[in-house]
């Protein structure tokens, strides 16, 4: 589905609106991309971004929580929201004739009333969610690993926060955070599919006429990165779960395509070197490697899960695969396979306005640039094997850090 046009404008209040127009699309998607997440939080308000995401569904001056949910249903919308390290996104997809109503609802939600009674009630929901994840070792190993690897860098902040920070959080602190981080100049509204651009801009200009810019900023910070192995044990954990980290490249670095292809060659869930070395022979149930490109830095992130009695051998083999790739490089055939697999995934997601919304909206938010699906695929398929070999020459896996979580007595 090729776009007919890319649209972009910035309103006087600093709000940026972008759109990818597909005149033959059978749906319309819209989303507010807020440049705020766990990395923008101080320790005393850890988890406020995720908590606030919940609160935006609890009502505005015009709509109650019940009205918001009922209206999404009446629109027939596919909708949700999520919070990450660097962004919070609220989105929906509807039939094109309901697009204006979806925009009205999403825009209204960006200015919640944050009632005290709703705040107190939702705080208990968040605390229960934190407790629920305590029983998920595959989640806890990354929470611990992030904290240990990133250290003082805010990318190590937990997205959910902790029971202490959430329990102590005050409504006034959330109000202050919302005012600073949900300012007009820290939001992007993205639309995709079949729409009228002039109508979208006109509607949003009126709806956000009282919004203000606050000059919110994110300061890039250096990362030293931990090295070695850290073993954590819990009596109720029955398997070994490991999170691995090595330095990568940022989302603004043109080498990000090579990093993504390299990670797929080494650690895709199926058909990669880690798969054949550990999963296929039954040494591990999962062994993967991906590349996470953040605003100011990037990280190769690995995951390994296995039986405790195989933990030492599995981790040894995991390391060996990474070292073999560094020492001997990759071959043209596996590089091409990984390129095609990634390009296919991008293309399939692009076949719906919602899939494209997430792709170009996220990239524009991070870089201020637009890439069509054709350009993205061309970049992937046009990245030569030599670019991956150049990344390997910097020997990122020599600086590997591993956090392992397992039962009492686990040693590595």
Q: What is the pLDDT of residues 241-294, one digit of tens each?
A: 999 999 999 999 999 999 999 999 999 999 999 999 999 999 999 999 999 999
Q: Within this chain, do residues 195 and 328 fall inside the same structural domain, yes or no?
A: no
Residue 99 belongs to a domain with what CATH number? 3.30.830.10
Q: Within this chain, do residues 171 and 238 fall inside the same structural domain, yes or no?
A: no
pLDDT per position as a tens digit, 81-97: 999 999 999 999 999 99
Residue 202, helix vs strand vs coil:
helix
pLDDT per position as a tens digit, 388-405: 999 999 999 999 999 999
Cα–Cα distance for residue pair 147/245, rounded to 1 Å: 12
Q: Within this chain, do residues 196 and 247 fall inside the same structural domain, yes or no?
A: no
Q: Within this chain, do residues 33 and 165 fall inside the same structural domain, yes or no?
A: yes
Number of domains forming the structure of the chain:
2
Average pLDDT rounded to a whole number, residues 101-109: 98
Percent with pLDDT over 70 in the chain: 99
Task: Note whether 341 and 275 are within 8 A (CB).
Answer: no
Within a domain: residue 286? yes
Quick one: pLDDT at residue 274? 98
**pLDDT confidence bin for 2, thresholds 50/70/90:** low
Which residue range(s) make up the domain with 190? 5-207
Q: Within this chain, do residues 42 and 174 fall inside the same structural domain, yes or no?
A: yes
pTM of the model: 0.95
Q: Within this chain, do residues 177 and 316 fall inside the same structural domain, yes or no?
A: no
Nearest to 262 by CA among 278, 253, 252, 273: 273
Within a domain: residue 341? yes
Cα–Cα distance for residue pair 74/278, rounded to 1 Å: 48
pLDDT per position as a tens digit, 223-243: 988 999 999 999 999 999 999
Q: Label residue 175 left, alpha or beta by phi (over 0 means left) and psi (-120 to 50 means alpha).
A: alpha
Q: Within this chain, do residues 188 and 65 fall inside the same structural domain, yes or no?
A: yes
Percent with pLDDT over 90 in the chain: 95
43 contact partners, CB below 8 Å, separation of at least 6: 165
CA dihedral sign, ordered 271, 276, 282, 287:
negative
Is the model's pLDDT at 3 over the cut of 80? no
Within a domain: residue 325? yes
Q: Within this chain, do residues 160 and 262 fall inside the same structural domain, yes or no?
A: no
**How many C-beta atoms lie closer than 10 Å to residue 100's C-beta?**
16
Within a domain: residue 214? no
Cα–Cα distance for residue pair 119/172, rounded to 1 Å: 10
Q: Within this chain, do residues 250 and 389 fall inside the same structural domain, yes or no?
A: yes
Within a domain: residue 35? yes
What is each CA distance from 35 to 99, 157, 215, 365, in whole angstroms?
24, 16, 12, 7
Task: Note whether 371 and 382 are within 8 A (CB).
Answer: no
């Amino acid at each position: 589905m090729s776009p007919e046009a890319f649209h972009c404008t910035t309103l006087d209040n600093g709000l940026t609106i972008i759109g990818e127009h597909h005149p033959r699309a059978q749906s319309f998607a819209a989303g507010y991309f807020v440049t705020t997440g766990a990395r923008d939080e101080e320790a005393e308000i850890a988890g406020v971004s995720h908590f606030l995401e919940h609160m935006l569904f609890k009502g505005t001056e015009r709509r109650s929580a019940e009205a918001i949910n009922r209206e999404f249903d009446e629109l027939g919308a596919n909708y949700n929201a999520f919070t990450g390290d660097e962004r919070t996104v609220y989105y929906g997809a509807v039939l094109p004739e309901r697009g204006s109503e979806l925009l009205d609802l999403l825009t209204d939600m960006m200015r919640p009333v944050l009632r005290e009674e709703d705040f107190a009630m939702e705080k208990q929901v968040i605390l229960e969610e934190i407790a629920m994840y305590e029983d998920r070792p595959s989640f806890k190993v990354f929470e611990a690993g992030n904290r240990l690897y990133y250290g003082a860098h805010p990318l190590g902040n937990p997205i959910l926060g902790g029971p202490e920070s959430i329990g102590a959080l005050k409504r006034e602190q959330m109000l202050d955070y919302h005012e600073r981080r949900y300012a007009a100049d820290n939001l992007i509204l993205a639309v995709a599919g079949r729409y009228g651009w002039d109508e979208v801009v006109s509607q949003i200009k009126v709806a956000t006429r009282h919004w203000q810019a606050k000059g919110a900023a994110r300061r890039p910070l250096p990362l030293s990165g931990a090295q070695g192995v850290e073993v954590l044990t819990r009596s109720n954990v029955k398997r070994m779960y490991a999170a691995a980290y090595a330095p990568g490249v940022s989302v603004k670095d043109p080498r990000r395509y090579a990093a993504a292809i390299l990670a797929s060659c080494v650690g895709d869930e199926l058909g990669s070197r880690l798969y054949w070395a550990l999963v296929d022979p039954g040494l591990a149930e999962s062994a993967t490697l991906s590349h996470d490109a953040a605003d100011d830095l990037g990280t190769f992130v690995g995951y390994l899960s296995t039986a405790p009695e195989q933990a030492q051998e599995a981790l040894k083999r995991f390391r060996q695969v990474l070292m073999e790739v560094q020492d001997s490089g990759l071959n043209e055939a596996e590089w091409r396979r990984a390129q095609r697999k990634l390009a296919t995934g991008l293309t399939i997601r692009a076949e719906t306005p919602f899939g494209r919304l997430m792709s170009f909206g996220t990239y524009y938010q991070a870089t201020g640039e637009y890439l069509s699906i054709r350009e993205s695929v061309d970049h992937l398929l046009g990245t030569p094997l030599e670019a991956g070999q150049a990344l390997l020459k910097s020997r990122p896996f020599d600086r590997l850090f591993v956090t392992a979580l397992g039962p009492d007595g686990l040693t590595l």
